[in-house]
């Protein structure tokens, strides 16, 4: 892992290198994804079947091999232990309540010129949700994607999820039942994104695609943006913890590893104003690592990308945090509000010592699908707005057109768009 001290010569250069490091897809992935997309667009289901056999070691033949029915999802839900069912239901209820409060209001008013103006919000007709399989099969992500779509009023909700070696994650199916998913297709990777975007004989196309995935999935979403809407191009997970020495080092170590266990390319960063505390956290990370079932993943992430930064004062932390623009930012101090007010760029911020990032992944309510790779500088986490679009409307009467029409004629003529001007002139009798 990397250790930096803000007072050292060369810190600025080293920190800039940290900020500029891209842990995402390369040109080879982009080329391979473009080939897969073109193939699926040309050959449809036949291409999907070949890629599924090749990458997931599963050959879809019957309809049951291609999709998972609502009855199977219901059975998975019914088979949950009472405690797990209650946990899933609590998460769903809190996610639904938080996102329902995000619904935008329609506008309809008449201004001083007598022009009626406004806008109406409507959900898209259909959304496709990508749910990873294998190492990253997370029912929590399904809830975080499906529930906002349902709250937004999406009529058809489609899931694409790989089933490596034919294995189906029953907890994912239970979450799909709870969220009211309409279709589940057993396909994954860039080929699934292409199928959702363009459609095949079996799969009708969607309007928006959301959900996490590996580098190939993220690259496919990037290439297909414009054919469909997407939530974001997401890279590996990341967490930044700002902590003083009054914290328990084990707590902070556990928080750092909560992201490191996601992916070998995930990044965990600590900023503290106490060098001895930094040492204690590093030691705690080493002790905690060996306890993790995913020790190899977390170890690679920590060794390659883990970073500890010692600053003179935590007052310096927000400026560094804003340059990093991390997916998750924890502020573990006595008065987190002071630093919170100065952090402009973060996917989600967790305030206080008793607010680990992990609570946001499951049951807090706000969405855990968040911008990575410094994209928090210009984008936000998933919300109901990702599944909605706004349509403005205008209604102009005789008097109102007389009030504002001449200015429109003047501007149209200035731009050389005579027909534009004429369409107003004929109504005004000019």
Q: Exposed/middle/buried for 293, CB within 10 Å: 0-12, 13-18, 19+?
A: exposed
CA distances from 397 to 116, 405, 419 (A): 9, 11, 21
- Of 230, 265, 285, which residue sits at a domain end? 230
94 and 144 share one domain: yes
The whole-angstrom separation of Cα 294 and Cα 307 is: 20
Tokens describing residue 197: 């975007």
What would the pLDDT profile of 361-391 be if each residue is shown by its tens digit? 999 999 999 999 999 999 999 999 999 999 9
In this prediction, residue 23 has a pLDDT band, given cuts at 50, 70 and 90, of confident
The whole-angstrom separation of Cα 77 and Cα 337 is: 40
Point out the catalytic residue in the list 327, 345, 357, 368. 327
Q: Quick check: is 190 in a domain?
A: yes
Q: Quick check: is 89 in a domain?
A: yes
- Of 210, 230, 250, which residue sits at a domain end? 230
What would the pLDDT profile of 111-131 be if each residue is shown by its tens digit? 999 999 999 999 999 999 999
The whole-angstrom separation of Cα 28 and Cα 34 is: 10
What would the pLDDT profile of 75-102 be if each residue is shown by its tens digit? 999 999 999 999 999 999 999 999 999 9
128 and 222 share one domain: yes
- 205 secondary structure, DSSP code: -
279 and 173 share one domain: no
What would the pLDDT profile of 173-197 be if each residue is shown by its tens digit? 999 999 999 999 999 999 999 999 9
345 and 422 share one domain: no
- CA dihedral (63, 68, 72, 73) in degrees, to 10, reads -160
420 a catalytic residue: no
139-152 and 82-100 helices, crossing angle to 10°: 40
What would the pLDDT profile of 200-244 be if each residue is shown by its tens digit? 999 999 999 999 888 899 999 999 999 999 999 888 999 999 999
Q: Quick check: is 79 in a domain?
A: yes
The whole-angstrom separation of Cα 300 and Cα 421 is: 65
Kindly state the percentage of the chain with pLDDT values over 90.
Answer: 92
pLDDT higher than threshold 60 for residue 135: no
Task: Give the model's pLDDT for residue 235.
Answer: 87
pLDDT higher than threshold 70 for residue 60: yes
According to DSSP, the residues that pair with 184 across neighbouring strands are 159
Cβ–Cβ under 8 Å, residues 357 and 133: no
Q: Quick check: is 387 in a domain?
A: no
71 and 100 share one domain: yes
207 and 58 share one domain: yes
Q: Quick check: is 389 in a domain?
A: no
Task: Give the model's pLDDT for residue 315.
Answer: 98
Residue 316's CB is within 10 A of a number of other CB atoms, namely 14
In this prediction, residue 27 has a pLDDT band, given cuts at 50, 70 and 90, of confident
- Of 178, 206, 230, which residue sits at a domain end? 230
Element (H, E) at 308: strand 307-310
262 a catalytic residue: no
219 and 75 share one domain: yes
Residue 419's CB is within 10 A of a number of other CB atoms, namely 7
Which of 100-106's residues contact partners 24+ apart within 8 Å by CB, and which partners? 100/151, 102/148, 102/151, 102/383, 102/384, 102/385, 103/151, 103/152, 103/384, 104/384, 104/385, 104/388, 104/390
Residue 366 CB contacts under 8 Å (≥ 6 apart), including other chains: 98, 348, 360, 381
Task: Give the model's pLDDT for residue 133.
Answer: 81
Three-state DSSP state, 429: coil
60 and 127 share one domain: yes
329 and 208 share one domain: no
In this prediction, residue 25 has a pLDDT band, given cuts at 50, 70 and 90, of low
195 and 54 share one domain: yes
Mean of pLDDT values over 247-273: 97
Task: Give the model's pLDDT for residue 202.
Answer: 96
- One DSSP character per residue, 341-394 reads TT----SEEEESTT--HHHHHHTSSS------TTGGGT-----GGGGEEEEEEE
CA distances from 365 to 144, 188, 358, 361 (A): 9, 27, 12, 9
- 9 secondary structure, DSSP code: T
The rounded radius of gyration (Å) of the Cα atoms in the chain is 25
Q: Quick check: is 406 in a domain?
A: yes
Three-state DSSP state, 202: coil
What would the pLDDT profile of 297-342 be if each residue is shown by its tens digit? 999 999 999 999 999 999 999 999 999 999 999 999 999 999 999 9
83 and 216 share one domain: yes
The closest of 200, 201, 181, 178 to 191, measured between CA atoms, is 200
Tokens describing residue 8: 């050292």
Q: Quick check: is 373 in a domain?
A: no
Point out the catalytic residue in the list 328, 345, 357, 368. 328
Q: Quick check: is 161 in a domain?
A: yes
Parent domain of 16: 2-24+235-364
CA 149 to mean position of chain CA atoms: 13
Task: Give the model's pLDDT for residue 64.
Answer: 84
98 and 14 share one domain: no
Task: Give the model's pLDDT for residue 134.
Answer: 63
SS (H, E, C) 92-157: HHHHHHHHHCCCCCCEEEECCCCCEEEEEEEECCEEEEECCCHHHCCHHHHHHHHHHHHHHCCCEE
The whole-angstrom separation of Cα 131 and Cα 117 is: 40
Mean of pLDDT values over 127-149: 89
Q: How many domains does the chain have?
A: 3
CATH number at residue 314: 3.40.50.1980
Task: Give the model's pLDDT for residue 63.
Answer: 86
């Amino acid at each position: 892992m990397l250790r930096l001290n803000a007072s050292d010569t060369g810190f600025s250069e080293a920190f800039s290198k940290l900020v500029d490091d891209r842990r995402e897809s390369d040109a080879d992935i982009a080329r391979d994804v473009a080939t897969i997309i073109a193939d699926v667009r040309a050959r449809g289901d036949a291409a999907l079947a070949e890629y599924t056999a090749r990458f997931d070691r599963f050959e879809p033949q019957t309809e049951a091999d291609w999709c998972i029915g609502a009855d199977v999802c219901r059975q998975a839900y019914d088979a949950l232990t009472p405690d797990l069912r209650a946990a899933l239901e609590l998460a769903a209820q809190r996610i639904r309540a938080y996102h329902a409060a995000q619904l935008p209001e329609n506008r309809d008013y008449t201004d001083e010129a007598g022009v009626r103006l406004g806008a109406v919000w409507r959900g898209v007709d259909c959304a496709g949700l990508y749910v990873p399989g294998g190492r990253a099969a997370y029912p929590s992500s399904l809830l975080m994607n499906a529930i906002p779509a349902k709250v937004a009023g999406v009529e058809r909700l489609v899931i694409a999820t790989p089933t490596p070696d034919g294995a189906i994650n029953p907890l994912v199916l239970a979450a799909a039942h709870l969220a009211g998913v309409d279709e589940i297709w057993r396909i994954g990777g860039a080929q699934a994104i292409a199928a959702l975007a363009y459609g095949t004989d079996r799969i009708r196309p969607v309007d928006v695609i959301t959900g996490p995935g590996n580098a190939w999935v993220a690259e496919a979403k990037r290439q297909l943006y414009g054919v469909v809407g997407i939530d974001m191009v997401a890279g590996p997970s990341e967490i930044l913890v700002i902590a003083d020495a009054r914290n328990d080092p084990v707590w902070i170590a556990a928080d750092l590893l909560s992201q490191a266990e996601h992916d070998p390319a995930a990044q965990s960063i600590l900023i503290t104003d106490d060098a001895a505390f930094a040492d204690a956290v590093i030691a705690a990370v080493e002790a905690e690592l060996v306890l993790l079932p995913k020790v190899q993943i977390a170890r690679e992430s920590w060794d390659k990308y883990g970073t500890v930064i010692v600053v003179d004062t935590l007052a310096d932390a927000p400026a560094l945090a804003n340059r990093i623009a991390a997916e998750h930012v924890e502020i573990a101090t006595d008065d987190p509000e002071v630093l919170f007010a100065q952090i402009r760029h973060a996917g989600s911020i967790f305030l206080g010592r008793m607010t680990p990032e992990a609570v946001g992944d499951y049951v807090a309510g706000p969405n855990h699908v968040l911008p990575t790779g410094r994209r928090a500088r210009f984008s936000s986490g998933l919300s109901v707005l990702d599944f909605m679009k706004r349509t403005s409307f205008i209604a102009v009467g005789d008097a109102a057109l007389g009030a504002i029409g001449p200015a429109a004629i003047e501007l149209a003529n200035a731009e050389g768009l005579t027909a534009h001007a004429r369409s107003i002139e004929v109504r005004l009798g000019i």
